[in-house]
Chain A
Amino acid sequence: MVADILSDAFLAAVAGTGFGAVSRPPRRAFPFIALLSGVGHALRFCLMTLLGVDLATASFFAALFIGLGSLVFGGKIHCPMTVLYIPALLPMIPGMYAYRSIFALVMLMQQFNDPVLAAQYLERMLMNATVTVSVVFLLSLGATLPTFLFPRRAYSLTRKRPSGN
């Protein structure tokens, strides 16, 4: 079990850092992106396998954790929250559901003349698309929430001098 969690965290860290590289973050941000992606994804894995939480709720709380983490680390390395949390969220994109809804759409077009099969594919497409959209929305919402909870800190992460000087 522990090995599963660790490998989950490691793979997510690699995925988060690599996807983050496309967005050209400052070099000092990479270790923290890796840390947040790894721990965030492992947290979702634990919530789902150990506590039996559903995918959408688990994603929301993992994203909330990543958002809070980016608030803490962002102040340390003077990076806006989005620089750290957007790459860290990417490994949590529900790719299999997205794929299944596209596959169902392709098959629906092939089976248009068979109402029974077509209805099945339509149902599968809608179900998977709903999961995909909900999870993606909850992911971005969860990570953004800390901005509204701690606006003062969130808005001055890139300030190098402590206020009052």
Chain B
Amino acid sequence: MKSEEVKEIAAFIAEYAACLLGSGVHTSRVIRNSGRIGESLGVEIRMTTLHKTFVLTVSEETNGHSFTRVVDIPAFGVNFDFNASLSSLSWEAFDGRLPLETIRFRYGQILSRGLLSPWVVLGMVSLANAAFCKLFAGDWVAAGVVGLATAIGFFIRLEMQRRHINHFITFTLSAFVSSLCASLCLWLGHTPEIALATSVLYLIPGVPLVNGVIDIVEGHTLTGFSRLIQAVLLVICIACGLSCSLLLVKNSLL
């Protein structure tokens, strides 16, 4: 294998693994997927992952060429479609012995695929949080108010994310506004506590929390802890936003 070829493979694997790590895939899957593509192309892939960067070495036996890259991990936001499709792609490459150009082409196709419209997501999340409120034995008024509070909070979150405003500020403000809207239930309906409690739950960063635990139990302790710490910081932000609302209405709750 020529040195140029190994270099190209390294460039592709760097992009591929960065995309997976950036869209909320746990570490061991990224390493397995990348290794599989490397194996199908006849090179060996070794990786060390951290939270914001990873180190990648691609090496080839016959001529002894090897390339090492330190790659930044982008913050794409969780995308399960990338997770599923890019994992499938690694198997297709492995089973079909696809050449690099074909893999790269399919990779481009997957990345350019359309996303669910944010408005549809907003509707679904609002409905989900209203159902969640009912699940905690809230009354219908509370469920309605929580649905509305979620829609407003989620809209704020979308707008702030679009403007690339700091994550922590986004979460705190969304939680504050949602819980403030939910405190309407103090005067409507009979379950204000349940409404307040559920109004912020749509913000819980479930994917990093679970990925953190998976990484830790699989021995990628450093990456797992960094994911957990990031997730816990977001949970603290949610708690701060909720606390601000509680400070304003606490006398009516006692």
Contact = CB atoms under 8 A, between A and B. Distances in A.
A19 B128 contact: yes
Contacts of A99: 193, 196-197, 242
B129 to A, nearest CB: 7
A127 to B, nearest CB: 16
B49 interface: no
A79 B84 contact: yes
B152 interface: no
Interface in A106-159: 106-107, 110, 136-137, 140-141, 143-144, 147, 155-159
B188 interface: no
6 contacts: A15-B128, A16-B128, A82-B26, A93-B201, A95-B197, A140-B213
Contacts, number: 157
A81 to B, nearest CB: 10
A21 B120 contact: yes
Contacts of A18: 124-129, 131
B230 interface: no
Interface stretch (B7-15, B87-95, B162-170): B87-95
Provide the main secondary structure of the chain B interface.
Answer: helix
Measured as residues with beta carbon below 8 angstroms from the partner, the interface class of chain A is 35 or more
Given A95-B136, A99-B193, A160-B91, A29 B80 contact: yes
A140 B120 contact: no
Contacts of A12: 131, 135
Contacts of A82: 25-26, 80, 83, 207, 210-211, 214
B214 A140 contact: yes
B204 A93 contact: yes
Contacts of B116: 21, 24
Contacts of A26: 80-81, 84-85
Interface in B184-220: 193-194, 196-198, 201-202, 204, 206-207, 209-211, 213-214, 217
